[in-house]
Amino acid sequence: MTSVNSEKLSSARFAQATDAFVEVFTASVDFDQRMAAQDIQGSIAHATMLCAVGILTEAERDAIIGGLTQIGGEIDRGEFVWSIKQEDVHMNIEARLTDLIGIAGKKLHTGRSRNDQVATDIRLYLRSEIVQITAQLTRLQAAIVELAAQHADTIMPGFTHLQVAQPITFGHHLMAWFEMLIRDRERLDDCAKRLNVMPLGAAALAGTSYPIDRQLTAELLGFSRPSANSLDSVSDRDFAIEFTAVASLIMMHLSRFSEELILWSSAQFDFIDMPDAFCTGSSIMPQKKNPDVPELVRGKSGRVTGHLVALLMLMKSQPLAYNKDNQEDKEPLFDTADTLVNCLRAYADMVPHITAKKANMYQSAKRGFATATDLADYLVRKGMAFRDAHEVVGLAVRLGLETQRDLSELTLAELQGFSPLITEDVFGYLTLEGSVAARRHIGGTAPETVRLAIEAARQRLV
């Protein structure tokens, strides 16, 4: 196993050693070591820039890059020994680099501070995480679109207030989920743009007196530009809050999906069958098939929203510039990214295997007078004012309730008793098929419109 220099790199100022408890209490290496690859990436770019402006010799640059590359290999192989004494990922790597290459390792920190270093590492880390999250989000969108394509004609009840409202198709309902995720994707893309600004070179808070080339460093690290104000650069965590806000919205959407899947898979709805691989049984009731994945995702949405609130509270009273409070930004941020990517992956894997119970959906749509609005629209087209039509249909529904029949099952004579405008053609509007087929406008539930929406969605995913 490799070792790290046990002498704390920032200890010369102090006459007393750090209290043992305080040393552990203030250390972040246990969790920020996950940014080791980003820290090494940033340090290699920084060393390359320092050489380009004449602060490091080519030999020193090459020694630093070689040492950092070796350290990266040690970390990847699990050979690196992390030390609490060095507090964080940055100091651990720098101490090991000095062990390996000597004084050149101590020159790496020229023109930078841990303040701008950590701000850069977090941005590099989040940039990478957003790529993974976007990939899983796209997989889920594609799965939703393909399931919707199978059910563009599958009729189910649409709900408001969780009461049967109007008939729709299952494909149309699924495409509503797709639209929610499209907005999430756009927010992620927008977040990534603001995230992609480089703080490195801001140093502790005021910049540096060395003739550094921040534009070169930004280009080497793939940032769109260097940050514009050194104070803001080291203290800004807006990008972390924005990412967590976007993640909270995505998790809220997944939670809504979960709620519907949980309801639909219950015996009371019985609209879908969840794949066995994503469900579990009961320890005592052998008949149970519990939708554990949707339930867990629904629960985890609260966890991510909690992280958003935590980050907002972390920043709300901080003066400029950097404060130790900001050490608390990483754990909620890391957990948010982990939770989000895992939930999206679970959903992307699960959705293609959901089975719709078409007959049950259809029969449920026939209950609750789902075509009542269609009868009102029919009367309006015959010349009746909508409010009067609303009253007429209410009376017809009351008869249906009293006789336990759907509107389509009432006789023509019974319907004409409510309005002489009703003729034989009304029954073409009172069927579930007629109702959904009539809604052919953009955004409507007609099967032909749903298929057009699906094709447009496929093009957006290319």
313-370 per-position pLDDT tens digit: 999 999 999 999 999 999 999 999 999 999 999 999 999 999 999 999 999 998 889 9
Asked whether 31 and 335 are in contact (CB, 8 A), the reply is: no
Distance CA 217, CA 192 (A): 19
End-to-end Cα spacing for the chain? 47
How many domains does one find in the chain? 3
Same domain, 301 and 152: yes
The residue out of 53, 81, 110 marking a domain boundary is: 110
Query: Would 385 be classed as within a structural domain?
Result: yes
Sorting pLDDT into bands at 50, 70 and 90, what band is 16? confident
pLDDT in tens, 206-256: 999 999 999 999 999 999 999 999 999 999 999 999 999 999 999 999 999
Domain that holds residue 247: 115-362
Amino acid at 186: E
The residue out of 57, 85, 110 marking a domain boundary is: 110
Same domain, 82 and 161: no
Same domain, 243 and 268: yes
Sorting pLDDT into bands at 50, 70 and 90, what band is 462? confident
- Report the largest interatomic distance among the alpha carbons of the chain, rounded to a whole angstrom: 101
Asked whether 170 and 374 are in contact (CB, 8 A), the reply is: no
**How high is the mean pLDDT of the chain?**
95
Q: Is the pLDDT of residue 3 over 60?
A: no
Query: Would 12 be classed as within a structural domain?
Result: no
Catalytic residues: 161, 282
Query: What average pLDDT does the segment 137-153 reach?
Result: 98
How are beta strands 197-198 and 155-160 bridged, if at all? unpaired
Residue 24 host element (H or E): helix 20-26
The residue out of 334, 362, 390 marking a domain boundary is: 362
Same domain, 45 and 80: yes
Same domain, 190 and 71: no
Place of tokens 């149309």: 172
pTM of the entire structure?
A: 0.92
Q: Is the pLDDT of residue 5 over 60?
A: no
Q: What is the pLDDT of residue 281?
A: 86
Query: Would 129 be classed as within a structural domain?
Result: yes
